[in-house]
Amino acid sequence: MLRLEFPPYIHPPSVPHSRKTPLCLGRIPVPDRQSTATHCPYCALQCGTHLRHSDGVTTVQPSDFPTNQGGLCTKGWTAPSLLDTASRLRSPLVRGPDGELAPSDWDTALDVVSDRIARIRDEHGPDAVGVFGGGGLTNEKAYLLGKFARVALGTSQIDYNGRFCMSSAAVAGTAAFGVDRGLPFPVTDLGQAETILLAGANPAETMPPLMRHLSRAKLIVIDPRRTRTAESAALHLQPVPGTDLALALGLLHLTVTEGLLDKDYLAERTTGFEDAWERALSWWPERVERVTGVPVAEQREAVHMLGAAERAYVLTGRGAEQHSKGTDTVAAFIDLALALGLPGREGSGYGCLTGQSNGQGGRELGQKADQLPGYRSITDPEARARIAEVWGVAPEALPGPGRSAYELFDALGTAGGPRALLVFDSNPAVSAPRSDRVTERLASLDLLVVADFVPSETAQLADVVLPVTQWAEEEGTMTNLEGRVLRRRRLLSPPPEVRSDLDILHGLAVRLGEPGHRFPTEPREVFAELRRATMGGKADYSGITYDRLDAGEALHWPCPLLPESRAPHPGTPRLFLDRFAHPDGRARFAAVDHRAPAETTDDAYPLYATTGRVLAQYQTGAQTRRVPELNEAVPEPFVEIHPDTAERAGLRHDDRAAVISARGRTVARVRLDGSLRTDTVFLPFHFPGDGRANLITNTVLDPQSKMPEFKVCAVRIEPISEPA
């Protein structure tokens, strides 16, 4: 097992913080149980907040935390509304003989779940039970969920919704650098950049406080849509959907031919450039323009803006990743960054903008199909032995890798597939591609259990629904997009019949024959075990403690446990400054080539559809659609379309339209947008029912990351009559 050697010191932040307010929430005094410092429950920025509860009302104020610097987006400001939403789940629900969900007590609900799991395992084996987690779970919950699946259930069938979020960048980043961390530098470093390229990212809507860090830089935005982020850009490149990889290869080609290649950096810090250049050689500017629609002049302007900057960054998002070639696309943008000599250089670099609140911690602590805690591979014998020792089981008792997210859903209820599924913190009935097929598979199960705090569309299909605590009702840790481990702090007690996910895992594990001590219910105790499990791994948390976090230390992994004779390791805010995480210390170029998306337009489906997010909603909308201020802003599904395209389809602004692909149809309200490409329509994926954008999306998977092709599919659009 490779033990990474990182610098045992913290580099000073690029942007000094106000001395009037603490750098870390842990330093904010909490005089009583009516107020606390914590973090927003939504995106991976994990903006610092201060909660106060008085006279039955919970209010939020932003803190001067590094990622948000005293700002919050509309979702952060309204987050307390979720705590007492009228549709809050407040007791367990069990589906009775009449087919209806009815309130139950906890012992009955957990007995039903454990008895049916035991029967299914006895009849069909441990892999007949699956587990699906979420990127919003705390580190402690994500860790214990992975342990529960592999020890208490003995199943290999576990994955999480981060597979739909950042899996392509994780594979590409690991191949290039030896380890994957969304941003291998603090967010505050971006504030000193001169030029930043954003490929397939729209932070002005998905994580608005990040724009504070991008305001100084000249932005190059690659997006088929003129998003709010693109509107603030110095240069907007607007490629045909599904052609980002060709554009990245073209930018690498121009980097070489325009004399911008950092040859000293290549010789000293990288390997594999010649093979990558052999692929990019044929992507001359005119060919790239024919394939992508991006003019040659704009391609040249982009590379010269990057090449002329002393401090420059290349950042990718879901728009680059959510393709059947997403890993190769991200790899090509990493190649571009390496050719310019950016990664591992203070003040410059490559990074990926993680989406979900704990998307980073969620995947490195063991709830992903192929990983064990510490970002260890589940197929590595040494890793298996290490984790088995911590868990007190034999290495051979641990299952191997399981199915990825969509493969898991597609196999539900089929011969050889899981016959039971436990879902924590996710809503795949809306989030998964071809969601009608996924809904059918969920409904076919012998047992579907959902742990959530609102009755999501997936919970409404369940046989047993278990109500769980929310963000302001629990203790724990989260890991944000820059690899910084943060403290989530409890302000309120949950409703009487609501329990933590840790309590649920403990209760089920004991009923399935596990000793109770193996599944602790106290977050501090779980974190102590998590530290031991990650020790020596790529994502090493062993030197991080609650006490250090509460004392205000800014701790980014890897943060190994050092001998008592030495000062504690300060964490690693900046990776790769001296060497990359491969054994030879060098970054790897990837030799990749463009290929068309899995589905292209034709006479029957002449338009490209792409999906994404909007400012007022989050993920599948199960939370934000319950916040009045947010739902009033965007209350229903819509489809953006160019006025000329709409006219040809017989559509006007505010008409209702059907967007139809080879897999299904979704219904949405028409919004005309003259900045959109005439061959492209856009749909947000936050809505349920017949407005689900994922009714039409493609299930073809990236062969490396198993990411579905959310970002491009062939469609047609037709007017439909208003309902009575």
Amino acid at 507: G
Distances (CA, A) of 377 to 330, 386, 539: 21, 11, 12
Give the 3-state secondary structure of residue 680.
Answer: strand
Amino acid at 108: T
Distance CA 497, CA 469 (A): 10
pLDDT of 16 higher than 60: no
Lowest mean pLDDT among 8-17, 196-205, 442-451: 8-17
* DSSP 8-state code for residue 499: B
For the chain, percent of residues with pLDDT exceeding 70: 95
Predicted local confidence at residue 355, as pLDDT: 84
Mean pLDDT (whole number) for 576-593: 97
pLDDT in tens, 259-280: 999 999 999 999 999 999 999 9
3-state secondary structure 320-374: HHCCCCHHHHHHHHHHHHHHCCCCCCCCCEEEECCCECCHHHHHHCCCCCCEECC
pLDDT in tens, 210-255: 999 999 999 999 999 999 999 999 999 999 999 999 999 999 999 9
In whole angstroms, what separates CA 277 from the centre of its chain? 31
Round the average pLDDT of the chain to a whole number and report it: 93
Q: Which domains does the chain have, with CATH numbers?
A: 93-164+358-556 (3.40.50.740), 167-353 (3.40.228.10), 607-719 (2.40.40.20)
Amino acid at 123: E
pLDDT in tens, 442-481: 999 999 999 999 999 999 999 999 999 999 999 999 999 9
> In 268-291, which positions are buried (b, 16+ CB within 10 angstroms) versus exposed (e)?
ebbebbeebbebbeebebebbbeb
Q: Are 476 and 528 in contact (CB under 8 A)?
A: no
- Phi first, then psi: give them for residue 638, nearest 5 degrees: -140, 165
Q: Are 665 and 609 in contact (CB under 8 A)?
A: no
Lowest mean pLDDT among 19-23, 353-357, 389-393, 492-496: 19-23
Q: Are 291 and 129 in contact (CB under 8 A)?
A: no
Q: Look at strands 713-719 and 607-612 and give their pairing.
A: antiparallel
pLDDT of 23 higher than 60: no
Task: Tell me which H or E stretch contains 132.
Answer: strand 129-133
Distance CA 128, CA 181 (A): 33
pLDDT of 493 higher than 50: yes
Distances (CA, A) of 59 to 29, 54, 56, 79: 17, 8, 10, 9
Predicted local confidence at residue 13, as pLDDT: 29
- How is 192-253 classified by DSSP, letter by letter? G-SEEEEES--HHHHSGGGHHHHSSSEEEEE-SS--HHHHT-SEEE-PPTT-HHHHHHHHHH
